Amino acid sequence: MGTFAAIGIAGSALGTYRKWLDAVSDNLANLNTVRATDETAFQARYIVAQANDAQGGDSGGVHVAAAAYGSAEGRIVYEPNHPLADAEGNVRYPDIDMASQMTQLIMAQRGYQANASVVDRAREMYTTALQIGRS
Amino acid sequence: MSVAPISAVLTSSVTPTAYISSASPAGAAAAGATDGAFASTLASSVDGLQAMQAKTSDLAVKAVTGNLADVHDYTISATESAVAMELTATVRNRAVEAFNEIMRMQA
């Protein structure tokens, strides 16, 4: 770990939370994306976070290892007036829970803020170290 | 912004004190200096600072041209180079202070 390890580690976390925010944003944007029943539903996007040290090492930090996708099945909804409705009057909605996505939105935001304040505190601490013996 | 390296002037005219060259392998190795002299350690630290500032201005250009993927990448890089700048300036100031102290000594 180098001189500014804390800042680098918090920076990697900021990147991860930003990608989580992107994923949630995509899920919320496609919350009402309707498909015909012979197609797969829009699949919710989730990120898989992994510690940078998972394969050994002592660099610290986190990264996005992969994206995971939700159910392709979706929800079958009876909407006979919908232009995409099949013979039985059904369409396919994505299986995304808005309340859950909003909760994740808050978690991503708070995680981002927490790591941003780590950067600030680390800077304050390094500045304090530079003040030692100054006066 | 670019800072010219100062290694050429200092390494030839300053002889290292014996205890620094033998006792500071950790700091010298980390800074990339081989002979352990304070001058070359400071010079390589300035080189490191310059690289850090180059990265920051690179990210600043990316920010204004709209190619910056992460806003925090720039702000973190700017913070790091500001702290590193302050650290290098502090080390330099302390060295000059010590030098002046020695110059004030009575014979």
Q: How far is A82 from chain B (nearest CA, A)?
A: 39
Model pLDDT for residues A62-119, shown as the tens digit of each residue: 999 999 999 989 999 999 999 999 999 999 999 999 999 999 999 999 999 999 999 9
Token digits of residue B95: 């060295």
What pLDDT score does B11 carry?
47
Q: What is the DSSP letter of A92?
A: E
What pLDDT score does B20 carry?
45
Model pLDDT for residues B36-79, shown as the tens digit of each residue: 688 888 888 899 999 999 999 999 999 999 999 889 999 999 99
Counting other chains too, the contacts that B13-21 makes at CB distance below 8 Å and 24 or more residues apart are B14/B38, B14/B39
Would the CB atoms of A116 and B72 count as touching at under 8 Å? yes
DSSP chain B: ------HHHHHHH-PPPHHHHHH-HHHHHHHT-SS--HHHHHHHHHHHHHHHHHHHHHHHHHHHTT--S-HHHHHHHHHHHHHHHHHHHHHHHHHHHHHHHHHT---
Backbone angles phi, psi at A47, to 5 degrees: -105, 150
What residues of chain B lie within 8 A of the CB of A9, using their CB? none
Q: What is the DSSP letter of A71?
A: -
The percent of residues in chain A predicted with pLDDT above 90, rounded, is 81
Q: Report the distance separating Cα A50 and Cα A66, nearest Å.
A: 9
| ipTM > 0.85 for the complex | no
| Whether pLDDT at A58 is above 60 | yes
| Whether pLDDT at B26 is above 50 | no
Query: Looking at chain A, which residue has its C-alpha nearest residue B94?
Result: A134
| Whether pLDDT at B1 is above 80 | no
User: Which among B70, B80, B90 is the nearest to A18, CB-wise?
Assistant: B70
User: Which among B72, B84, B90 is the nearest to A11, CB-wise?
Assistant: B72
pTM of the predicted structure, to 2 decimals: 0.75
**What mean pLDDT do residues B83-100 have?**
91
Residue A5 CA, distance from chain mean position: 24
What pLDDT score does B31 carry?
45
Q: Report the distance separating Cα A85 and Cα A82, nearest Å.
A: 5
Q: Is the dihedral of CA A11, A17, A23, A29 positive or negative?
A: negative
**B22 class by beta-carbon count within 10 Å (0-12 exposed, 13-18 middle, 19+ buried):** exposed
What pLDDT score does B23 carry?
44
The percent of residues in chain B predicted with pLDDT above 90, rounded, is 46
Contact A47, A23 (CB under 8 A): yes
Cβ pairs bridging A and B (under 8 Å): 37
Q: What separation in angstroms does the CA of B26 have from each of A10, A45, A56, B34?
A: 26, 47, 24, 11
| Whether pLDDT at A54 is above 90 | no
